[in-house]
Amino acid sequence: MKILIIANRLPVKIEREEDSFVVKRSEGGLATGLGSLETDAEMHWVGWPGIHVDDENEKQEITEKLNELNYHPVFLSDEQIENYYEGYSNSTIWPLCHYFFSFIQYKAEYWETYRQVNALFCEKALPFIEDDDIIWVQDYQLMLLPKKIREKKPKVNIGYFHHIPFPSYELFRVLPEREEVLEGLLGADLIGFHTHDYMRHFISAIYRVLGLNCNLDEISLKDRIVHVDAFPMGINYEQYHQAPSLPDVRKISERLIGELGNQTIILSVDRLDYSKGILHRLNGFANFLEHHPEYHKKVSLAMIVVPSRDAVDRYADLKIQIDQSIGKINGIYSTLGWTPVYYFYQSFPFNELVALYDIADIAMVTPLRDGMNLVAKEYLASKREKPGVLILSEMAGAAIELTDAIVINPNDTQEIEAAILQALTMSKKEQRVRLNNMQKRIS
């Protein structure tokens, strides 16, 4: 028996360097989460290698390189990347699932290409699939795939995990292809979500679109039963908890403390996306600085925004708004020795990120919608000698588990301002109690 993980992206990406191709680790919660999977089973991955190539010899070279690692690439054309990935996946399904109704774009070619690419993933995976294998399909880019595999391999075990929110039926019903999407998912034996809310929305859609009843967590089809359940995604707790004591990380932490001086650091880490509530957070911090001048020169926000889809107009516009908002705050409040917002538009390697978690007194994780949010869990896991406070959006899946955080409505900038003040004035004893409770939960 082997486990075959099928995801839009492989956990590594291929990059062209001079005359050859090099394999590099992918960023992102999926690669991190599944990378810490402990199993004795032989594991294979099927996914897009993150590069577009037309030359058949180059495709062959990349395939051979990746096959050595049990990775099997699915090559996509520029048009497929545009219509399946940027199009149906990220301009139709993503805004739908994150409740940004007005951002949803419908185009016939988006859907046609989505179907075509799901069929292509099936075709690529089939040669590696035997009847006693476990197939684990990941996320919203491949919602038609479980059924396609089931039709070709009826005896195989198939799981599907949905890494983003599943919207309420009232929103889901606007999707013209709703029936085909749900039937695609029902090809799986087990369908997983981060929270019971998402699971409940899915079950409601199954009943109202397909007329199928769900008994507790089972959907009965003609020839088999599909199980539906909530599995909150975790992190490799020990890896993050032990990391701050590594010599390399300690060195970075000490350097950062030297550079930042004796001030309180609020940390925020997000991918560039309108669902992350970055502008609301900046407005809340600006309110805080305006109403609490006693904290000037004592508190700074270190904001990391990881580049993502910035060639897409909506994301490029968001990037401009973030830049302007930070420029305005720093323009009003900066002094020679103090910068209110340190802004990094880049991704950070593991050691540097953990060092930032380690020195940050407060983490602000305030998405407008988020399937889970692993940054919140990573931050908590990284705290050892020095406690820290987590300000967390009630709209993140993680809020259901992390009830000892300061939980806020991310749309309310006054609430964000009040949460910052609460975090700054919280006693060390209360910080420690809350942190211990949450660490116990996530470990």
Write out the two tokens for 251. 């060195």
Question: Which residue in the block uniquely carries the two structure tokens 């957070």?
Answer: 281
Write out the two tokens for 143. 């919602």
- In our burial notation (b when 16+ CB lie closer than 10 A, e otherwise), range 151-180 reads eebeebbbbbbbbbbbbebebbeebebbee
Q: Assess whether 248 carries a catalytic annotation.
A: no
CB 86 within 8 A of CB 48: no
Quote the CA–CA distance of 414 and 405 in Å, as a whole number.
17
Write out the two tokens for 413. 């900038």
* Annotated active-site residue in 139, 270, 358, 370: 370
Write out the two tokens for 61. 């070279």
Quote the CA–CA distance of 393 and 416 in Å, as a whole number.
9
Three-state SS letters, 378-421: HHHHHCCCCCCEEEEECCEHHHHCCCCCEEECCCCHHHHHHHHH
Strand partners, 370: 396
| CA dihedral sign of residues 55, 60, 61, 66 | positive
Q: DSSP character for 216?
A: T
Strand partners, 304: 269, 344
Closest CA to 181 of 155, 197, 150, 202: 202
3-state secondary structure of 191: strand
Quote the CA–CA distance of 124 and 59 in Å, as a whole number.
14
Quote the CA–CA distance of 370 and 393 in Å, as a whole number.
9
Q: Assess whether 98 carries a catalytic annotation.
A: no
3-state secondary structure of 57: helix
* Annotated active-site residue in 98, 163, 241, 280: 163
CB 219 within 8 A of CB 185: no
Amino acid (1-letter code) at residue 27: E
Q: What residues are labeled active site?
A: 163, 370
